[in-house]
Structure 1
Amino acid sequence: MTVHTGGCHCGNIRLGFSTELDPPQIEVRACQCSFCVRHGSRAVADPNGRLIISVKDETQLRRYQFGLRTADYLICRECGVYAAAIARDDDARAIVIINALDDRERFSQEPVRVDFDTENRAQRQARRRTHWTPVEISFG
């Protein structure tokens, strides 16, 4: 597996996205919810990959929720970077925001515009369990 590293601007949040897929093969999604549109979010996931998130100072990590409150959107309080979203259920799954990766230019597919506003809670959780990346988060 190849590890794509990155994180927030100040270094409080570090990312390690492991995948066997070549970046140009990975579908880039541009969610059309109001949060993602305002952040210019471009997200990727690999259900067979792994995302490791390391946070130096947990007090500087903002976990934002909205809508159905089925995910935590991870934002650095210090520098404001939106780095990832983690599903809020028993199966820890996430997406990584490629704008926060060091090699973001390698994820070259034109973003696919997606809109999940018609999903109910169960549909959203099922989609994330199937399509999002297994994730581990550590502090300190």
Structure 2
Amino acid sequence: MNAHSGGCHCGNVRLTFETGLDPSQIDVRACQCSFCVKHGSRAVADPNGRLTISVKDKSRLRTYRFGLRTADYLICRDCGVYVAAIAGDDPRAIVILNTLDDQKSFSREPTPVDFDAESGEQRQARRRARWMPVEMSFG
């Protein structure tokens, strides 16, 4: 597995994205919802990989839900960086490419995607299939 580390600007949230894929093989998605557009986010995931999120101070992490309210968008309260999104009972996640230290090694052009027409069930099924397992730790 290749490990790609990163995190928010102030260091409260640290990430490790593990994947067996070379960064040049990973699709980069540019969601066209108003939240992602306003953040300029580019998201990556590997269903066979894993995302580990370590939060130093949980009180400095904000979760935000909107639309169908099917995912938690993780934002550092101090520096304002959107780092990842997590969804589902068996949590699956995407990581925001902008937060990875080696983001430039992900060479694919972002593909614009629009999921506004999905039902809640369709959205959850897509995330189970395309997002990756996630583990969070605090402290």
Q: Same fold (TM over 0.5)?
A: yes
Counterpart residue type for residue 63 of structure 2: R
Task: Give 1:81's aligned residue.
Answer: 81
Q: Which runs of 5+ in 2 are unaligned?
A: none
Q: Paired residue for 1:28? A: 28
Tell me the CA shift for residue 82 of structure 1: 0.5
Once residues 107 and 31 of structure 2 are traced to their aligned partners in structure 1, the CA distance between those partners, rounded to angstroms, is 17
Q: Give the aligned residue type for 1:15.
A: L
Q: How many residues align?
A: 139
1:23 maps to a residue whose letter is P
- Report percent identity of matched pairs: 74
The aligned counterpart of 1:135 is 134
1:49 positional shift: 0.1
In 1, the alpha carbon distance for the partners of 2:102 and 2:74 equals 20
CA distance in 1, matches of 2:105, 2:65: 29
How far residue 123 of structure 1 moved from its aligned partner, in angstroms, is 0.3
CA offsets, 1:46-87, max 9 Å, x none?
000000000000000000100000000000000010000001
Match of 1:123 in 2: 122
Give the Cα separation in 2 of the matches to 1:28 and 1:39.
15
Deviations 1:79-105 (A, max 9, x none): 010000001x21110000010000000
Which aligned runs of 4 or more in structure 1 are off by greater than 3 angstroms? none
Normalising by structure 1, report the TM-score.
0.98
Cα offsets for 1:91-126 (capped at 9, x unmatched): 110000010000000111000000000000000000
Aligned-partner Cα distance in 2 for 1:124–1:91: 14
CA distance in 2 between counterparts of 1:2 and 1:21 reads 7
1:75 & 1:107 partners in 2: Cα distance? 22
Match of residue 38 from structure 2: 38
Give TM-score scaled by structure 2 length.
0.99
Determine helix, strand or coil for the equivalent of 1:75: strand
Q: Partners in 1 of 2:79 and 2:135 — Cα distance?
A: 22
Match of 2:102, as an amino acid?
Answer: D
Query: Could you say what secondary structure the match of 2:59 adopts?
Result: helix
Where does the alignment leave 5 or more consecutive residues of structure 1 unmatched?
Answer: none
State the match for 1:94 in structure 2: 93
Residue of structure 2 equivalent to 1:61: 61
- Alignment RMSD (CA, Å): 0.4
Tell me the distance in 2 between the aligned counterparts of 1:113 and 1:51. Answer: 23
What secondary structure is seen at the aligned counterpart in 1 of 2:73?
Answer: strand
